[in-house]
Structure 1
Amino acid sequence: MGKEKEEVKVEILINNLLAERNMSLRELARLSGIEPSNLSNLANGKRERIYLEHIERIADALEIDEISKIMRLKYK
């Protein structure tokens, strides 16, 4: 009862994934069919809403089968 509720933010790990694969954002955009500007906004935490379809397309493009490799919860 006396404990404050922590704020939670979803963090998209695109920059980490691209660095691991030595891949550009433009290449990911080409492979996923997502606009580079949308990917950039996701990567830099500038999106208010995250679409599950985008996460699925990123996972498919990068052949990832674990959501934790793409996104994580960040507590403030």
Structure 2
Amino acid sequence: MGKRVVVKLPELIVKHNMSMRELSRLADVRPQALNELANQKRRNINFGHLERIADVFDTNDMNEIITLVDTDDDDE
């Protein structure tokens, strides 16, 4: 059993009634970078992006944006 990072942007934009485009504008992060994060396509996460996303959503809790989940090693 291992761990993997899950980015919770889709849930956040729904919760805050926001589009990915609006988040991109407010956080000053390229739309493609946000889409890759939201679709779990990125292997690296830019801390600057996380800080700006947290600022947009007015949170200090990174667990609202990213979390670790247990995974079977066979899934990777």
Whether 1:74 and 2:69 are equivalent positions in the alignment is yes
Gaps of 5+ in 2: 72-76
Moved segments of 4+, more than 2 Å: none
Cα RMSD for the two superposed structures: 0.8
Q: If the length of structure 1 is used for normalisation, what is the TM-score?
A: 0.88
Gaps of 5+ in 1: 1-5
Which amino acid in the other structure matches residue 41 of structure 1?
A: E
Which string of whole-angstrom CA distances, capped at 9 and with x for unpartnered residues, describes residues 3-45 of structure 1? xxx2211111000000001100000000000000100000010
SS at match of 1:9: strand
Whether 1:23 and 2:18 are equivalent positions in the alignment is yes
Which string of whole-angstrom CA distances, capped at 9 and with x for unpartnered residues, describes residues 43-66 of structure 1? 010001111111111001111121
SS at match of 1:48: coil
Work out the CA distance in 2 between the residues paired with 1:48 and 1:55. Answer: 14
Work out the CA distance in 1 between the residues paired with 2:62 and 2:32. Answer: 22
Match of 1:8 in 2: 3
